[in-house]
Structure 1
């Protein structure tokens, strides 16, 4: 069950990043078929390679496994921007988020 989730999540995130299996494999310093061997079910990444993949996608391992996050790479980018905001700006942002979420309901 988890193996399929990992394979599917790698494929999903790779497509959102807009890179091919070949490009991701070579970007990570592996043979051109490395990612294809993972997504096809022939192998799984080691823990070290998994952590490197998270860095490649610019997300945390927690975000990798949280399938309720629709756009984990964008959420992480937003979090990076939020980290240095002061209280006033954070409250404005929270108000905006609440308003946008109300529109979706």
Structure 2
């Protein structure tokens, strides 16, 4: 699967996962977004893709930021993904220490 198809598949699956977590039907979500009742079903079935503006509306509806929406797109076994997860657990003081250390490494 090429990268473009992987991204498209990810968007469709992510919308389904987040919608399910929110415990809302595709029909209800579509209507609450101001669309026809089959709008979300069209996206998740592969018949259509949302425009960028509509994707942001979907994210807002699902109450996630763009970074949260795309968080799982990277390989979960990669070192970057593992480090990102560990950084998210740090408080501001510890993040400042990591930032200082990174500055020192780059010199």
TM (norm. structure 1) is 0.63
Partner of 2:27: 22
> Rg bigger for which structure?
2
Partner of 2:45: 40
Q: Please report how far the alpha carbon of residue 67 of structure 1 lies from its aligned counterpart in structure 2 after TM superposition.
A: 1.6
SS at match of 2:46: coil
Q: Distance in 2 between matches of 1:9 and 1:62?
A: 12
How many aligned positions are there? Answer: 71
Partner of 1:3: 8
Moved over 4 A (4+): none
Structure 2 residue 67 is the aligned partner of structure 1 residue 59: no
Q: Distance in 2 between matches of 1:56 and 1:20?
A: 13
SS at match of 2:9: helix
Partner of 2:79: none
Q: Please report how far the alpha carbon of residue 58 of structure 1 lies from its aligned counterpart in structure 2 after TM superposition.
A: 1.0
- The alignment's C-alpha RMSD in Å is 1.8
TM (norm. structure 2) is 0.62
Partner of 1:82: none
Instruction: Give runs of aligned pairs for residues 77-96 of structure 1, distance below 5 A.
Output: none
Specify every segment of 5 or more residues in structure 2 that has no aligned partner in the other structure, as ranges. Answer: 1-5, 74-90, 94-107
